[in-house]
């Protein structure tokens, strides 16, 4: 009578199996990244497109776009505290909430007060404000990866409407799309960043920034813009979305940051 025997893995066989699994993982991961990269970029661009659609709907309703809620026609002047620092105010994103299917949240916000008084209400993240390729995606972090552009210079958001080099928004500026003499298709309204992230509901640099062309390179960790390995997304004022390469020239980028500079714009 023959006795059946069990064949156990030798150490060498086990090591070979582990090596094969490691090789397969190494082959699969780049393929997964190649699939996820374009998908994340597409979702990010869709977020920006929806934000711009909300801007256009806002202007159609109230005939102005504004980063300062005190001057928006929807809200009474001074409702967020005149004389307060920009960081103590509520952001332009709050004004867009009713146009982003966030009417219920908007109604919970006391727009006659500032950010601190509303902090408990605005502590949840909103998907459309977050790039799906970021580490914040899928979390409840109340941050945003998209900022409005104030123009040229880090102080651009504080400049009056008749100042040279101003951009799509300012702390106390009300800009209509008709005022963009460079053309809405030549003016960057929103752009993607990974640097200095802040709360989506907070005014100031969290949601509105100027650009200094001397800040080069423009893409990467600690740099003005970024979001994806190959570059970053930007929303033009006409609602179109551009994916800008990380190697883009800072001067070309600056030309698209102003609303009435008269410069030729070439983002290719």
How does pLDDT run across 118-173, given as a tens digit for each residue? 999 999 999 999 998 888 887 788 999 999 999 999 999 999 889 999 999 888 78
Supply the mean pLDDT for the chain: 84
**In contact, 22 and 120? CB cutoff 8 Å:** no
H/E element, 56: helix 11-62
How does pLDDT run across 176-197, given as a tens digit for each residue? 888 889 999 999 999 999 999 9
How does pLDDT run across 188-223, given as a tens digit for each residue? 999 999 999 999 999 899 999 999 999 999 998 889
Kindly tell me the burial class for residue 1, based on how many C-beta atoms sit within 10 Å of its own C-beta (0-12, 13-18, 19 or more): exposed
Q: So where are the chain's domains?
A: 39-255
**In contact, 167 and 208? CB cutoff 8 Å:** no
Beta bridge partners of 239: none
- As a whole number, mean pLDDT of residues 94-112 equals 92
H/E element, 244: strand 241-245
């Amino acid at each position: 009578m023959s006795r059946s025997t069990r064949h156990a893995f030798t150490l060498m066989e086990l090591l070979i199996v582990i090596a094969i699994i490691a090789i397969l993982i190494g082959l699969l991961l780049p393929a997964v990244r190649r699939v996820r990269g374009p998908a994340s970029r597409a979702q990010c661009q869709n977020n920006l497109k929806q934000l711009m659609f909300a801007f256009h709907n806002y202007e159609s309703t109230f005939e102005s776009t504004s980063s300062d809620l005190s001057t928006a026609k929807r809200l009474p002047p001074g409702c967020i505290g005149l004389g307060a620092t920009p960081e103590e105010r509520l952001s332009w994103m709050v004004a867009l909430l009713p146009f982003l299917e966030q009417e219920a949240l908007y109604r919970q916000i006391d727009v006659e007060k500032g950010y601190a008084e509303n902090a408990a209400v605005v502590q949840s993240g909103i998907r459309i404000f977050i790039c799906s390729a970021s580490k914040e995606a899928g979390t409840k972090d109340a941050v945003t990866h998209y900022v409005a552009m104030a123009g040229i210079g880090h102080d651009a958001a504080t400049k009056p409407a008749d100042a040279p080099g101003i951009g799509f928004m300012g702390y106390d500026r009300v800009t209509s799309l008709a005022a963009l003499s460079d053309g809405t298709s030549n003016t960057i309204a929103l752009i993607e960043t990974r640097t200095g992230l802040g709360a989506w509901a907070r005014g100031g640099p969290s949601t509105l920034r100027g650009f200094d062309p001397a800040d080069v390179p423009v893409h990467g960790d600690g740099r003005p813009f970024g979001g994806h390995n190959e570059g970053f997304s930007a929303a033009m004022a006409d609602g179109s979305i551009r994916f800008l390469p990380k190697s883009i020239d800072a001067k070309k980028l600056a030309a698209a940051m102003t609303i009435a500079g008269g410069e030729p714009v070439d983002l290719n």
